[in-house]
Structure 1
Amino acid sequence: MSEKSRLDEIRDELKKLDISPTIFARKEIHELPDILLADEKIVYLVEGRNKLNNHHIILVATDRRLIFVDKEFMYGLKVEDFSYSKISSIQYETAFLLASIDIQITDDIVEIDGVGNYHAELFCEKVREFMARPKEYLQNKTEPTILDQLEQLGKLKEGGVLTEEEFNEQKKKLLEK
C-alpha cells in the first residue's frame, strides 16, 4: 500500500471517529503512515500542547498503544509510544473552553494542555477501556515484536526522518532488549 493511500485511510478513520484535526496537527498527521503499524487502528486522537516545551502535539490512542507525536519544524520528529499496561492513570481537568490531560506512565507524568473539553473526556474514556483489558490481551495485542519495531525504524530511515546514525543507535537498543 502506498504512503498516500495509507494517509487517506488514516483520514477516513478519523472521519469515522468524528475527529477533525486542525491545521496545526497537519504535520503530525502526515507522519502517521510511518508511525502506525500496518494493521494498527486509531481508536481516538486529540491535539494539544505539551506542557514541558509548549509544542503542538497529537496524542493517538490505537488498538495497541498510546502514541505522542511532536513534529516541529526546527526540532524534527519526536515519537513516544507506550503500551497501555505501562499507563497507571489518565485524567483530565476542564476549564472554560479547553482541558488538560495528565497521563501517569511508570514514574513519569505527561501533561497536555489546550485539548477541547469534549475530546479530552472521550480520549480518556477510550484509553481507560484499553487500560482495563486483561494483561494477556494487552501483551498479545499491544506489544509490537522486535521485527515490527525494526521494520518501523527502517520506514523512518527511508522516509528521511532518521539519519543512518540515529537508525543504527535505535536498532542497537532494540536488539539489546
Structure 2
Amino acid sequence: MSEKSRLDEIKDELETLDINPTIFARKEIHALPDVLSEDEKIVYLIEGRNKLNNNHIILVATERRLIFIDKEFMYGLKVEDFSYDKVSSIQYEKSLMLASVDIHIANNVLEIDNVGKYYAELFCEKVRDFMARPKEYFQNKTEPTVLDQLEQLGRLKESGVLTEEEFTEQKKRLLG
C-alpha cells in the first residue's frame, strides 16, 4: 500500500472538517503541502477575494498560526503567516448571500469578501478561540526553526513554486 501524499492528507483533513473549497482555490490548496509543516493541522479554512487587489485567496487557521495564501500565475506564490498573538481582532459582516472578514494585525487590516456566510462566522470563532489562548499554549507547539523554514523555501523553489528572485527575497527575510 502506498503512502499518502501530504496533499492527500490535507484534502482528507478538509473533508473531515466539512470544508469543500471551490475550483478557484485549487492553486492555493495545491501549495499547502509546501507551506504547512509536516505535523501542522488545519483547524479551518476559508476562501474569498482580497479587497486590496481583488485576487482570490485562502485563509488557513492551523493550531499554530494564521496563514494567507495567494497563488497567481503572474507573480507566483505569496504567503503571509502570523501567530495568533499578533492578531488584535477579527470580525465578519454578513450581506444577503455572502460575508466579508476583516482581520486586524498590528497596524494592518486584511479585508476579504465573497466568503460564505456560515464559513466566515465559523472561521472567526475558531480564530478567536486561538487568540484567547495564552502564549504558553503556542510555545509548547514545536515551531519551525529557521533551518526548517529555509528547507521549506528550498522545496518551494525546487518544485517551481518560487522563482530564484522570490526565493532570495524570502531567504533574506528569514535570515534578516
Matched, 1:149 2:143: no
Match of 1:124 in 2: 124
Q: Please name the residue that 1:53 is paired with.
A: 53
Aligned: 1:25 with 2:25: yes
For 1:175 and 1:76, locate their aligned partners in 2 and report how far apart those are by CA, in whole Å.
22
Partner SS state of residue 32, structure 1: helix
Q: 1:148 to 1:28 in 2, by over 3 A?
A: same
State whether structure 2 residue 134 is matched by structure 1 residue 105. Answer: no
The aligned residue for residue 8 of structure 1 is: 8
- Supply the distance in 1 between the matched residues of 2:6 and 2:103 (Cα, whole angstroms): 29
Unmatched tracts of structure 2, length 5 or more: none
Secondary structure at the aligned position of 2:153 is classed as helix
Q: Classify 1:156/1:4 alpha carbon distance in 2 versus 1 (closer, same or farther; 3 Å).
A: farther
**Distance 1:63-1:173 versus aligned 2 partners, 3 A rule:** same
Q: How many equivalent residue pairs?
A: 175
Question: Matches of 1:57 and 1:146 in 2, distance apart?
Answer: 26
Is the contact between residue 63 and residue 142 of structure 1 (CA under 8 Å) also seen in structure 2?
A: no
Match of 1:71 in 2: 71
Match of 1:171 in 2: 171
Q: CA deviation at 1:152?
A: 1.4
**In the aligned structure 2, how far is the partner of 1:111 from the partner of 1:36?**
23
Identity of aligned residues (%): 79
- Residues 173 and 138 (structure 1 numbering): CA distance in 2 closer, same or farther, change over 3 Å? same
8 A contact 1:65–1:142 mirrored in 2: no
Alpha-carbon contact 2:28-2:57 (below 8 Å) kept: yes
The alignment's C-alpha RMSD in Å is: 1.8
The one-character-per-residue Cα deviations of 1:70-128 (angstroms, maximum 9, x if unpaired) are 11122321111111111010000000010000000011000000000000000000111
Identify which range, 138-147 or 11-20, moves more after superposition. 138-147
Distance change in 2, residues 1:129/1:99 (3 Å): same
Whether the aligned pair in 2 keeps the contact of 1:99 and 1:114 (CA below 8 Å) is: yes
The answer on whether the counterparts of 1:28 and 1:69 sit within 8 Å (CA) in structure 2 is: yes
Query: SS of 1:130's equivalent?
Result: helix
Measure how far apart 1:142 and its partner are. Answer: 7.2
- 1:139 deviates by 3.1
Alignment-derived partner of residue 138 in structure 2: 138
Following superposition, the deviation at residue 4 of structure 1 comes to 6.9
Instruction: Provide the secondary structure at the position in 2 that maps to 1:141.
Output: coil
Which ranges in structure 1 are unaligned for 5 or more consecutive residues? none
- Mapped to 2, the partners of 1:90 and 1:19 lie a distance apart of 20
The answer (yes or no) to whether the contact 1:57–1:68 under 8 Å persists in 2 is yes
